[in-house]
Structures are given as C-alpha cells and as structure tokens.
C-alpha cells in the first residue's frame, strides 16, 4: 500500500500500537482479576468510548478464556486415569470393559472440545483482522493520494480523512470519508465498494466519483464523473435504495431537511481540484470563502450580509492567496484585510484570518 503524503504515519502507527498493547494488558489483568482502582477506571473509560471498544474487550476476554481451556486440556493424562481405574477394579473383564468405554468417552468428548476451541480461536483471529482499521489524513492546505489494498485510488482534499481496513475481507469493501475525496474504484461486481457517510452510503462496483462530507457543512454531496452509483441506507441489515446517480449528476443531501436533490452538472468543476485547480462557476460568496479557506489554510470571514448575494466565476491554480483575493476584488466591489497568525499557549500558531467587506 502506497502513501504519498503523511510523513508521521510510522510514528502514529507506533503510538497506536503501544496504546492497543496497553489496553490488551489491562484486559488481561481484568480477566485475572488483578486490576487496581486506577487501572479499572482507565479500562472502564476506554470501553465506554465506543461500541467497537466494547466488542474488542469481549473478544480479547474470550481469547484468554480459550487459551486457558487449551492449557487445561493439555494437562489431561488419559493413561494415568486408566491406570488408576485398573487398580480399583478387581475383575479383569470389567476392567477391560470400563477401560474401552473410558477411551471412547475421552475421544468423544475431548476431540470435539479441542476442535471447537481451536475454531473459536481462529474465528476470533479472523474477526480481529476484519475490524483492524487504519486512518489516512491530510492537513489543511494539503492534497494527497492514497491507494487501498484492492487497487482503488483515492485523492484527499484539504483537511480530509479516510478510515479503511488494512485488507478487505469477504465480499464487501467499505471505507469512511470525512471531508472531500475523489475515488477511482477498481471494478468488482461480486465485491461492491461502499463509502459510509454516516447518514447513508454510496455503493459502487467500479467507477469515478467525488464526495464532500465536511462535518461543519450543511450538505453532503456526491458527484459522479464516470459509471453509476447508488445511494443506499441500511435498515436491519438490509439495503434500501434511496436514489441512483448517472454520469454528470450531483446528489446533494441536506442534513437538516433530510432531503436529497439530484442536479445535472456541466463540466468537471467538482473534480478539477485533483489536478490542482480550484474552480468556481457562478458560486456565491459564502461557498467561495469556505473553499478558498480550505485551499489556502486560512479562515475567511465575511463582514456584511450583502456579500452573500455576490457570486464569482474563476479558476485558480498557481496563484498565491493574495493574488487570488486581488482577482476577486477586480470583479466585485469588495476589499480584504489580512490578520496575521498568532502564537498559542502550546506554541502552535493560529490560522491567518481574512476579513472581506464591501468597498
């Protein structure tokens, strides 16, 4: 799996591994009933953080149970038990009969018990692989590419994150996206690809599309460049189809109204960012401010409600922030003021602020 950006991934993986090992150590101490009050509080807090943590606690606990059961089985000495029985029996024929019966009973009980236990361990191992998730993130002002284990290519826009399994298992490929991402999904009709957006999922078998799912935005959008996708909702394990997208269509889901609108779009303005272009086509000032802010990693504030009625058409690729702002002032009666970043108490720096107002 290739990573093009994210130099700190190895360090983060190491820290996550240390954290996971510490949790497993606490689970083992809990199983052996050796936790002190502080450790018990730490473990209880971790379990309550999410349902996935609760499931992980149960699975690791079962793993220790299976291990103990296997250890106990290894201590069984059938020959010694038979010898003891023979000493207690006086009649030869009765000894032979009981001996044979004991061997049969031991074979009947122990072998299936061992098989069942081993299958349980294998199943737990398989489940652990299935729920082993990775994260790939981009900072604000940065765009990057990532390739999944099945060959699917993903471009992440500024301030975005994808959560995915190290390796897809079974007949379902599924990831989660926060922010904006462009997908080139490897075709596989038998193993569909899902993008979980929280409210609903995008289901594809092989196609190119763009998704915007920023937590601070009112809408979630899906733009289909090539192929066909379905927007679905899972209810009690069954898929319910919400709508179907065709090439050149954009589905916009309003979080407040719980409604989906499908719009036919001309051109590729929603995917040009992959090529390093920021494109506006009759976009209102609010959207321009938000997208410019993410692109240049600044906070843009609008001073005045009348600015909401301004709209712009422009394409930026190699321009600096100041050059982009100057181009906007040429087409509308606006002006801007840049407030430099300040150092925080933790030695980090705040974002630069841009105040846009009417001339």
Q: Output the CA torsion sign for 156, 182, 229, 134.
A: negative
Residue ranges per structural domain of the chain: 9-130, 133-264, 277-358
Write down the pLDDT at residue 36.
81
Fold category of 133-264 in CATH: Jelly Rolls (2.60.120)
Query: How many angstroms separate the CA atoms of 105 and 110, rounded?
Result: 8
Query: Of 35-39, 226-230, 295-299, where does mean pLDDT reach its minimum?
Result: 35-39
At residue 100, what are phi and psi to the nearest 5 degrees?
Answer: -65, -40
pLDDT of 92 = 52
Tell me the average pLDDT of the chain: 80
Is pLDDT larger for residue 1 or for residue 196? 196
Q: What is the mean predicted confidence (pLDDT) over 310-316?
A: 91
Using CA atoms, how far apart are residues 35 and 45, in angstroms rounded to an integer? 14
> Does pLDDT of 233 surpass 50?
yes
End-to-end C-alpha distance for the chain, whole angstroms: 51
pLDDT at 22 over 70: yes
Structure tokens at 100: 């044979």
Mean pLDDT score, 199-212: 93
In this prediction, residues 36-52 reach a mean pLDDT of 77
pLDDT over 90 percentage in the chain: 43
C-alpha span between 174 and 202 (Å, rounded): 10
Instruction: Record the tokens describing residue 45, joined without a space.
Output: 């807090």
> Quick check: helix, strand or coil at residue 274?
helix
CB 294 within 8 A of CB 157: yes
Q: Is the pTM for the entire model greater than 0.75?
A: no
At residue 62, the 3 state secondary structure works out as helix
Angle at CA of residue 120, ends 117 and 124, nearest 5°: 145
**Other Cβ atoms closer than 10 A to 63:** 19
Q: What pLDDT is recorded for position 253?
A: 94
Kindly report the backbone phi and psi dihedral angles of residue 148, in degrees, each rounded to the nearest multiple of 5, phi listed first: -85, 170
Q: What's the pLDDT at 266? A: 74
**208 and 225 in contact (C-beta within 8 Å)?**
yes
- Determine the Cα–Cα distance for residues 106 and 98; give it in Å rounded to an integer: 12
Q: Please give the Cα distance from 195 to 211 (Å, whole number).
A: 9
Average pLDDT over residues 71-88: 57
The pLDDT assigned to 21 comes to 72
DSSP 271: T
Q: Got the DSSP string for 111-163?
A: HHHHHHHHHHHHHHHHHHHHT-EEEEE--TT--EEEE-TTS-EEEE-TT-EEE
CB 204 within 8 A of CB 174: no
- Say how far apart CA 324 and CA 355 lie, in whole Å: 14
Select the CATH number that applies to the domain covering 277-358 from these four: 3.40.50.2300, 3.55.50.30, 1.10.3720.10, 3.40.50.1580: 3.55.50.30
Cα separation, 291 vs 229, in Å, equals: 25
Residues in the chain: 359
In the predicted structure, residue 344 carries a pLDDT above the cut 80 = no
Higher pLDDT, 339 or 81: 339
Higher pLDDT: 131 or 158? It is 158
Answer whether residue 73 shows pLDDT above 60: no
């Amino acid at each position: 799996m290739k990573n093009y950006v994210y130099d700190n991934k190895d360090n983060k993986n190491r820290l996550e591994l240390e954290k996971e090992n510490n949790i497993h150590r606490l689970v083992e101490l809990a199983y052996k009933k050796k936790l002190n009050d502080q450790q018990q509080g730490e473990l209880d807090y971790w379990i309550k953080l999410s349902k996935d943590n609760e499931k992980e606690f149960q699975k690791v606990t079962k793993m220790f149970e299976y291990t103990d059961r296997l250890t106990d089985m290894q201590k069984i000495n059938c020959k010694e038990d038979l010898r003891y029985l023979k000493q207690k029996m006086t009649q030869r024929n009765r000894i032979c009969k009981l001996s044979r019966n004991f061997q049969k009973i031991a074979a009947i009980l122990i072998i299936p018990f061992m098989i069942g236990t081993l299958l349980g361990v294998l199943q737990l191992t398989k489940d652990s692989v299935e729920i082993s998730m990775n994260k790939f993130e981009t900072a604000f002002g940065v765009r990057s590419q990532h390739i999944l284990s099945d060959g699917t290519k993903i471009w992440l826009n500024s301030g975005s994150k994808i959560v995915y399994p190290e390796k897809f298992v079974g007949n379902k490929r599924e990831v989660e996206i926060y922010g904006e991402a462009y997908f080139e999904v490897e075709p596989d009709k038998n193993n569909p690809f899902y993008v979980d957006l929280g409210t609903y999922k995008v289901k594809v078998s092989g196609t190119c599309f763009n998704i915007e799912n920023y937590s601070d935005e009112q809408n979630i959008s899906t733009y289909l460049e090539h192929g066909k996708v379905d927007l679905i909702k899972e209810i009690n394990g069954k898929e319910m189809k919400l709508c179907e997208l065709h090439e050149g269509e954009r589905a916009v889901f309003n979080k407040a109204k719980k409604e989906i609108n499908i719009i036919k779009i001309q051109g590729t303005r929603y995917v040009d960012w992959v090529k390093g272009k920021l494109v506006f086509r009759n976009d209102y000032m609010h959207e321009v401010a938000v997208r410019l802010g993410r692109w240049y990693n600044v906070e843009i504030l609008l001073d005045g409600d009348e600015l909401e009625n301004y709209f712009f058409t422009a394409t930026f690729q190699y321009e600096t922030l100041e050059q982009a702002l100057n181009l906007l002032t040429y087409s509308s009666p606006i002006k801007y003021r840049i407030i430099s970043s300040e150092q925080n108490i933790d030695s980090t720096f705040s974002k630069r602020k841009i105040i846009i107002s009417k001339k």
